[in-house]
A and B are shown apart, each in its own frame.
Chain A
Amino acid sequence: MKCLVPLLFASLALISCKPAGGPASAVATGKPKVALVMKSLANEFFQTMAEGAKKHQAAHAGDYELVVNGIKNETDLAEQVGLVDQMVSQGVQAIVIAPADSKALVTVLKRAKEAGVLVINIDNKLDADTLKQAGLSIPFVGPDNRAGAKAVGEVLAKKLKAGDEVAIIEGVTTAFNGQQRKAGFEDAMNAAGMKIVASQSGQWEMEKANGVAAGILAANPNVKALLCANDNMALGAAAAVQAAGKAGQVQIIGFDNIAALKPLLADGRVLATCDQHGDQLAVFGIEAALKILKDKTSPADQQTPVDVVVK
């Protein structure tokens, strides 16, 4: 036990110095320093985003410096708040952040802005009311999840006929992008006259979505389609459709266009998904930040493209 205590401190020291491990200060090189603060880098989606950003920086190494940080767990708000503080004290010119929570990060971002740091919001949009209360304006650079989900939903609607029963498998119910995708699915289904008989959360996870899909199929034998708020859940739903012996009778749509979905899109088990260009999402944010820093323009919201992907 005795030998474990120093070991523990050593590893804590190691962990705590990791986020500060960026290159020499911006003042020395004259290049702007941009901090990318992500959610969990263990998540495929955010990892792709971070890798896209690193590639972009490598191609534009003369233009700016990049520090990439992520938190361990998507719900670990305290860790992300700490990261923002550290980035500010490191003297970065801009922070591009995918907030782990759309309200809880506002206070620390206000601190960052007051310290003269440009803040750009990507991925998960900060809550408009909270921003207003804090007297803060932070530009959002990102895709319109609702429009994307609606577009995939419209592709699905063409395969169904009015009055058909459909079900939605939602993401984490507190996540704004999850709520937007659900709303987009509903827009498309209501417009086409479909009947939404169930809408439950699969918590963004394949296994949980599989259970939810199996339950929905058993409880609603006439369901013709499962609308999943991400691709991992679409994979879980596809397995549930197969297990229920309903292959080919139930259409599935997803969101994100992850690599693992390709074989299912190819053979039609999944009809369509939505690509919001994950590898470019952070890049869009960084480019917006660089432009504002260079031109001294006042920041504004910016929409990035979403595309429907079939087969």
Chain B
Amino acid sequence: MRRWTDFFILIAVLAAMIVLFGLMRDSFFSMGTLGTVANRIPALALVATGMTLVMVTGGIDLSVGSLLGFCGAVTGVLMADLHWGLALAVLASVAVGAVIGSTTGAVSVKLRLPSFIVSLGMLEIARGLAFLTTNSQTKYIGADIEALGAPFGGLVISPAFVISLLVVAAGQVMLSQMAIGRHLIAIGANREAALVSGLSVDRPRIFAHALLGALTGLAAVFNCSRLGSADPNAGTGFELGAIAAVVVGGTSLMGGRGSVVKSFMGVLIIATLEAGLIQVGATEPVKRVVTGLVIVAAVLADTWRRK
């Protein structure tokens, strides 16, 4: 029952924001805004889905922003310089993401190091690799990749948006309906208890990191498709947006509790806030202060309700 209350609160917050921005700026209620938000969220939604799976185990991955830059760099070089097709480039980007993600996971789990520290190291490594891959240059890809992020069939939504919705749905089913999901939550709730009851606590955690990496690889392609180019600086600070979305959605930083769909609501809230602040013409300092306040307020509300 409480799951639904949580969910309605998130919807209420989102609705309140939309009304508020709508009152401040007439143009906010438009297909243009809807398109802008729908266009911007696929990458964040994919990474937030993966991040939820990592965070329910009590882990975290700070390297996703840099990894988004690196996978985008790989996509850019493959498509712009080596003229690979989109399908192969997607596979390569997802594979690179999965390899890096599972490396972070394996090093952290097998060597018993906090994932916070290992992924902080990977944040630097992946950004360095992004600059190396592109020789620090922005790669223009153009029409070959743009269709993925462009609205289709006269709608405001893009293929990337549809795919990200499917991934969110699949992530939710995995977390709440499948054995692996319950397994991840059990590890996050009480690792010793999970161990005593005979569950493997290593492999599922590495799997969660690998999946997050793969989803980040796909997100990188979506990001490039939206911009038509690959920027080796892409994704700087992106990890904070993803973690904020997951936490706003009520996933505990300590693990043991989380929901992919609620993380997606968190993504919608962050993206709407961002679009709204731009449209009302907020200055950079105001944007940062307001975004920070909303994140803290959302988590505070969540904590109070649980007491």
Task: Tell which of B227, B235, B284 touches A201, judged by Cβ atoms closer than 8 Å.
Answer: B284
Q: Is B281 within 8 A of A200, CB to CB?
A: yes
Nearest CB to that of A41 among chain B residues? B136
14 A-B residue pairs with CB within 8 Å: A200-B278, A206-B138, A206-B233, A207-B231, A211-B278, A212-B278, A214-B39, A216-B278, A218-B36, A219-B25, A232-B138, A235-B231, A243-B151, A260-B137
B236 at the interface (CB under 8 A from A): yes
How many A residues touch B, CB cutoff 8 Å? 41
Task: Tell which of B39, B138, B278, B281 touches A258, judged by Cβ atoms closer than 8 Å.
Answer: B138
A183 at the interface (CB under 8 A from B): no
Cβ of A210 to closest chain B Cβ, rounded Å = 6
Q: Is B223 within 8 A of A244, CB to CB?
A: no
Contact with A along B39-78 (1 / 0, CB 8 A): 1100000000000000000000000000000000000000
Cβ of A205 to closest chain B Cβ, rounded Å = 6
Cβ of B31 to closest chain A Cβ, rounded Å = 9
Nearest CB to that of B111 among chain A residues? A1
Task: Tell which of B150, B227, B233 touches A210, judged by Cβ atoms closer than 8 Å.
Answer: B227
Asked whether A44 and B140 contact (CB < 8 A) given A205-B231, A211-B278, A243-B226, the answer is no
Q: Is B139 within 8 A of A44, CB to CB?
A: no
B228 at the interface (CB under 8 A from A): yes
Contact with B along A196-218 (1 / 0, CB 8 A): 00101101011100111011111
A173 at the interface (CB under 8 A from B): yes
B234 at the interface (CB under 8 A from A): yes
Q: Is B226 within 8 A of A235, CB to CB?
A: no
Cβ of A237 to closest chain B Cβ, rounded Å = 10
* Contact residues in B for A44 (Cβ distance below 8 Å): 136-138
**CB interface residues, B 202-228, toward A, < 8 Å:** 223, 226-228
Q: Is A258 within 8 A of B137, CB to CB?
A: yes
* Contact residues in B for A260 (Cβ distance below 8 Å): 137-140, 229
* Contact residues in B for A173 (Cβ distance below 8 Å): 284
Residues of B at the A interface (CB closer than 8 Å) are 25, 27-28, 30, 32-33, 35-36, 39-40, 113, 127-128, 131, 135-140, 142, 146, 149-151, 223, 226-229, 231-236, 274-275, 278-281, 283-284
Provide the bound-state CA to CA distance between A200 and B232, in Å.
Answer: 23
Cβ of B123 to closest chain A Cβ, rounded Å = 12
Q: Is A261 within 8 A of B136, CB to CB?
A: no
Asked whether A243 and B39 contact (CB < 8 A) given A198-B281, A201-B284, the answer is yes
4 nearest A-B pairs in the assembled complex, by CB-CB distance: A215-B278, A218-B32, A260-B140, A260-B138
Asked whether A238 and B40 contact (CB < 8 A) given A44-B138, A263-B140, the answer is no
* Contact residues in B for A243 (Cβ distance below 8 Å): 35-36, 39, 149-151, 226
* Contact residues in B for A136 (Cβ distance below 8 Å): none
* Most chain A beta-carbon contacts within 10 A, residue among B33, B39, B235: B39
Q: Is A206 within 8 A of B150, CB to CB?
A: no
Q: Is B227 within 8 A of A239, CB to CB?
A: yes
* Contact residues in B for A262 (Cβ distance below 8 Å): 140
* Most chain A beta-carbon contacts within 10 A, residue among B27, B136, B223: B136
Contact with B along A23-53 (1 / 0, CB 8 A): 0000000000000000001111001000000
Q: Is A42 within 8 A of B36, CB to CB?
A: no
* Contact residues in A for B274 (Cβ distance below 8 Å): 211
Cβ of B18 to closest chain A Cβ, rounded Å = 14
Q: Is A218 within 8 A of B236, CB to CB?
A: no
Provide the bound-state CA to CA distance between A238 and B229, in Å.
Answer: 11
* Contact residues in B for A244 (Cβ distance below 8 Å): 32, 35-36
